[in-house]
Structure 1
Amino acid sequence: MLLTPRTRPPLPKAPRRIRRALIASAASAASVCLIAASAPAPAPLGIGDRLFPHLGNPGYDVMAYDLAFTYPGSNTKPLPTVTTIAARTTEWLEQVNLDYSSGRVRSVEVNGAAAKYRGAGEDLVVTPATPLPPGSRMRITVRHDSDPVPEEDVKSGWVRTRDGLAMANQADAAHRVFPGNDHPSDKAMFTVRITAPNGYTAVANGLPVAVARRAATTTWAYRTAHPMATELAQVSIGRSSVLRRSGPGGLPVRDVVPAKDREQLEPWLEKTPDQIAWMERKVGRYPFETYGLLVAEARTGFELETQTLSLFERELFTRPEYPKWYVESIMVHELAHQWFGDSVTPRTWSDLWLNEGHATWYEALYAEETADRPLEKRMRAAYRASDTWRAAGGPPAAPKAPDSAEGMSIFRPNVYDGSALVLYALRQEIGRPAFERLERTWVNAHRDDTATTADFQRLASAVAGRDLSGFFKAWLYGEKTPPMPGHPDWRSAAPAEQGARSAR
């Protein structure tokens, strides 16, 4: 994810910006219909993520989601939805907690039998007719409304565009769109069906598998070929054009844009195949079945790496003050996430630096190689600001908790240029050939899986042929920025000094 600037593009030396938050609704659980209200109140659960302790649920592993949305022709009305979850239990379950907090629940079934359900915080707690033993398969079907809550109230994960809807679920908003296990550690396959009035086009992650046209509506079905975290789900509904082209090796590339803007946006969209080829030269083959840009006519405040179909604000490509090199580097940032974050997914949110640090790294490297924007100059500027970023947001691999209910406030400068700076220091420490070998090995070894900071440290040590634990402890967890290998003259300004400089 990356912020869209509002007034002017940032200079390479500027610190990264804080994302606008998707605000959680403390009262949203009230929209879940309650059954057996006289029974003891169930408790919301979580898997203990340090930054989002309420996300995820113990006791089961989701294998697949089947989401069926019916768009009513208005982006202010709830979408009748059927969410079906195929999962495997990992322990005895008398109750099953799902993350879900926005939208009326109409009914729940477990393995075809009606189940009781109640709301608990931001959980939907389901009680099957009989307890579920460990190792058993369960199929949970929830009929509910998926509610695009007005932005002035709360962002639900749905983004209202001028002519429809798109999704932006990062970091903790997928459970405001559909019930599930809303934590990146539990990746699953997705099938998405969208029914909309004729005249609209619906697109989702993955490849199309069916289109059914009726007198007044059309239903599109899409399926992923690789597992996906809930925060990376994407559905676009609008009066859109779908533009298709081929990428490296015949990769299907499809872009979804407002129909009226297809000619204006084409000069940008046609760059994607070459950008994919550039990334493949750096880290190996593209990891998914398709790629493309979803250009939304909406003011989100960010760009987002939803899997196989990255979300971009239209104005990034239409405002003349954004230099060509800057727009292209942002396109590469979201593309790089398909390897770093989407294919190799963080096991905890504290591992976020592995996503954003790498995406920022390749964004900056692309700008250096294609637009003569020196990487070293940008890293030296980041080094000057690094102590300030660490004081404000925590070290890269131990970021501070989100501010209040603003989950997206974890996206601070320390996980962007501050984390790219760690990668620069690592390249300085082990040398360019070993660093490039590490990058390729990392995305290949953990493809379609989750990984941690400890995994990266172990692999880096193995590739370098020596123990790098001291290096990583200082660079990833230290309150102060360590000396930069090869640049003993670099200095990081004290937080107060940096703040005074920024104010001028």
Structure 2
Amino acid sequence: MPRTLRHRLPRRLTAPLLASAVSVCLLAASAPPAPLGVGDRLFPYLGNPGYDVSAYDLSFTYAGDNSKPLRAVTTIDARTTRPLESLNLDFTHGTVESVEVDGVPAAFTTAGEDLVITPPVPLPEDSRTRITVRHTSDPVPGKSRDGGWVRTADGLAMANQADVAHLVFPCNDHPSDKAMFTIHVTAPQGYTAVANGLPAGTARTGASTTWTYRTRHPMATELAQVSIGRSTVLHRTGPHGLPVRDVVPTADRRTLEPWLARTPDQIAWLEGKIGRYPFETYGVLMASATTGFELETQTLSLFEKDLFTDPAYPKWYVESVMVHELSHQWFGDSVSPRAWSDVWLNEGHATWYEALYAEETAHRPMEARMKAAYGASDGWRAAGGPPGLPKPPKAGDKIGIFRPNIYDGAALVLYALRQEIGRPAFERLERAWVRDHRDGTATTADFERLAAGIAGRDLSAFFKAWLYGVRTPPMPGHPDWKPVPPAKPAKK
């Protein structure tokens, strides 16, 4: 046992803890620490067994230089689901300074991208525990991994999907383990910090200010968002008095305001399709950064500022992308995938409402888009797998599993389902799905069962063909639609 640990313990605990430490050392000698996972088919080492996180408390201290690591403290409240002599957290790309379990210093080491913690006393099953990790959080990309912190022109933002929240903070980095979040950010004067959820106070100390935000609904780690920059926060009111706050570079607030003003009507449009907005607030974070994507971080969606300022993008297209990320607040954020193979439910639905919005507000026919998707679907399935069984990501590929087969390819499944069961049943299904699984996680099998129940008949053959087939099935109601054979590579 490290001397510092023994000297800090109450004397009455020293003997039993020494005995426990000896047994842990013997176990460690026979079984070296190893990275663990929850068995996700696409990300085998994401998540960790043996406990369920109820809450995260994250503290970041930003010194004003987005090329330097932030000082950070992560506190995790969890409940054990089995006896644990050690436990794993997902964490890499930062330096761990110390770990405490229930206020007592604990031993720690690393294995792969896991932080392996050995508490001085084994944790019994069904017990509450608090883990505190003091560490750094590095915004500079590593040699083999990209993602997590996004460096902007004036600070930082987060992009943690699908498997990189643990590059920012220690966590159980899998959407099956959602938790409440409290986030504190300390930054120098002149910066503004905004995070998921609602403000819970600010405190000024010397030349720095600490902002605190707190969620009112559970959240997956991949949806965490922290914005630090020379920003302005703009406030407006959405349907039912919903507070809407947007975060923009201060110099661009007037240019961006016309786009931001559209959000309340977009929320109302979606509420008319699928029911009431599921969270305590919403807003758009426009970052001066080049990411190559937009991201549905919970209650504060991340967008590249250039999407709104580049005249090459038509107005209808920009608005439909805004609706895509907004619809994720229902599909993917409130109802999160139990496993990453269920990601088609996130992206297929967001693409569906993006296309439906374009049809209803900009006269861009849904049928034409779906016919084009049908023609390309066989090629998408060959390249990325069928929508319900996507191929694993390539090592080091930051876009990972996010291929056309889970976007328009998955929206095509929803179009086929609407054709199969009829529009009224389909619309009831959509509302029931987000109502029944709100603030939880769900699987493809859950969606299939709900669809069959609402349709009043067995749909197993339909879903097997459309979600798992190598070839795209015939489209109900459109026997003339034909897939286009994938182009063969040119011979060298």
Give TM class, smaller chain.
Answer: over 0.9
**Separation in 2 of the partners of 1:156 and 1:270?**
30
Classify 1:428/1:489 alpha carbon distance in 2 versus 1 (closer, same or farther; 3 Å): same
What's 1:7 paired with? none
Shift of 1:150: 3.6
The whole-number CA distance in structure 2 between the counterparts of 1:200 and 1:286 is 30
Answer yes or no: is the 8 Å Cα contact 1:149–1:156 preserved in 2: no
The alpha-carbon deviation at position 407 of structure 1 amounts to 5.1
**2:454 maps to which residue?**
463
Q: State which of 134, 138, 143 in structure 1 corresponds to 2:134.
A: 143
2:366 matched to which residue of 1?
A: 375
User: Which of the residues 171, 174, 177 maps onto 1:183?
Assistant: 174
Q: How far apart, CA to CA, are the structure 2 residues paired with 1:311 and 1:476?
A: 29
Q: For 1:141-290, what aligned pairs fall within 5 Å after superposition?
A: 141-150=132-141, 154-290=145-281
- Which deviations, in whole Å up to 9, do the C-alpha atoms of 1:419-460 show, x marking residues without a partner? 000000000000000000000000000000000000000000
CA–CA separation in structure 1 for the residues paired with 2:34 and 2:143: 29
* CA shift in 2, pair 1:425/1:305, >3 Å: same
1:217 CA displacement: 0.3
1:398 matched to 2:389? The reply is yes
Q: Does 1:328 align with 2:316?
A: no
* 1:9 match: none
Answer with 149-158 or 199-208: which moved more. Answer: 149-158
Q: Tell me the equivalent position of 2:421.
A: 430
1:341 aligns with 2:332: yes
Contact 1:333/1:360 (8 A) holds in 2: yes
What is the letter of the counterpart of residue 359 of structure 1? A
1:134 aligns with 2:130: no
Distance 1:248 1:421 in 2: 30
Quote the offset at 1:405 in angstroms.
2.8
Alpha-carbon distance in 2 for matches of 1:279, 1:303: 19
Tell me if structure 2 keeps the 8 A contact 1:76–1:150.
Answer: no
SS in 2 for 1:91: coil
Contact 2:137 2:169 in 1 (8 A): yes
Contact kept in structure 2, 1:115 and 1:129, CA below 8 Å? yes
| Larger RCO of the pair (alpha carbons < 8 Å, separation 6+) | 1
Gaps of 5+ in 1: 1-35
Aligned-partner Cα distance in 1 for 2:398–2:435: 30
Q: How much has 1:41 moved relative to structure 2? A: 3.0
Distance 2:270 2:413 in 1: 20
Distance in structure 1 (CA, Å) of the matches to 2:37 and 2:399: 18
Residue 84 of structure 1: aligned partner:
75
Taking the TM superposition and a 5 Å limit, the aligned residue runs for 1:34-45 are 41-45=32-36
Give the partner amino acid of 2:471.
Answer: K
Contact 2:247–2:286 (CA under 8 A) maintained in structure 1: yes
What do residues 118-170 of structure 1 show as CA deviations (whole Å, max 9, x unaligned)? Answer: 01000000000011111000100000001112477642400000000000000
1:46 aligned onto 2:31:
no
Task: Supply the AA of the counterpart residue of 1:384.
Answer: G
1:308 — aligned with what? 299
Deviations 1:37-81 (A, max 9, x none): x95630110011000001000000000000000001110111100
**Contact 1:117–1:124, Cα closer than 8 Å, also in 2:** yes
On the 8 A contact 2:146/2:398 being kept in 1, the answer is no
Q: Which residue of 2 aligns with 1:69?
A: 60
Q: Tell me, in whole angstroms, the C-alpha distance in 2 between the residues paired with 1:244 and 1:399.
A: 40
TM-score, structure 1 as length reference:
0.91
8 Å Cα contact 2:146-2:396 kept in structure 1: no
Query: Equivalent residue for 1:28?
Result: none
1:332-374 CA-to-partner distances (Å, cap 9, x unmatched) read 0000000000000000000000000000000000000000000
Contact 1:156/1:177, CA 8 A, preserved across alignment: no
- The runs of 5 or more residues in structure 2 that have no matched partner are 1-24
Contact 1:172/1:407 (8 A) holds in 2: no
Tell me how far apart the structure 2 counterparts of residues 132 and 154 of structure 1 sit (CA, whole Å): 33
**CA–CA separation in structure 1 for the residues paired with 2:108 and 2:291:** 34
Question: Residue in 1 aligned with 2:344?
Answer: 353
Q: 2:50–2:82: 8 Å Cα contact kept in structure 1?
A: yes
Name the CA distance, whole Å, in 1 between partners of 2:141 and 2:377: 37
Q: Which residue of the partner structure matches residue 97 of structure 2?
A: 106
Counterpart of 2:108, as a letter, is Y
CA distance in 2, matches of 1:102, 1:150: 9
CA contact (8 A) 2:147 2:398 kept: no
Deviates more, 1:142-151 or 1:416-425: 142-151
* Bigger shift: residues 435-444 or 405-414: 405-414
Change (3 A) 1:378 1:68: same
CA contact (8 A) 1:148 1:159 kept: yes
User: Residue 389 of structure 2 aligns to which amino acid in structure 1?
Assistant: A
Alpha-carbon distance between aligned partners in 2 of 1:75 and 1:153, rounded to the nearest angstrom:
20
Partner of 1:416: 407
2:379 corresponds, among 384, 388, 395, to 388
Tell me the SS of whatever aligns to 1:178: coil
The question of whether the paired residues in 1 share the 8 Å contact of 2:307 and 2:318 is answered with yes
Q: Which range moves more in the overlay, 74-83 or 399-408?
A: 399-408
Matched AA of 2:56: Y
Tell me the equivalent position of 1:5. Answer: none
SS in 2 for 1:410: coil
Please give the alpha-carbon distance, in whole angstroms, between the structure 1 residues aligned to 2:240 and 2:52: 34
Letter paired with 2:99: V
TM-score in terms of structure 2 length: 0.93
RMSD: 1.5
Q: Which moved more, 1:311-320 or 1:210-219?
A: 210-219
Please state whether the residue corresponding to 2:264 is helix, strand or coil: helix
Paired residue for 2:49? 58
1:380 alignment partner AA: K
Helix, strand or coil for the counterpart of 1:422?
Answer: helix
Number of aligned pairs? 465
The answer to whether the Cα contact below 8 Å between 2:247 and 2:285 also exists between their aligned partners in 1 is yes
User: Is residue 145–residue 396 contact of structure 2 (8 Å, CA) maintained in 1?
Assistant: no
- Aligned-pair CA distance for 1:490: 0.4
Quote the Cα distance in structure 2 between the aligned partners of 1:409 and 1:70. Answer: 30
Hey, what does 1:13 align to over in structure 2?
none
Tell me which structure has the larger Cα radius of gyration: 2
2 CA distance for matches of 1:317 and 1:408?
Answer: 22
> 1 CA distance for matches of 2:292 and 2:255?
22
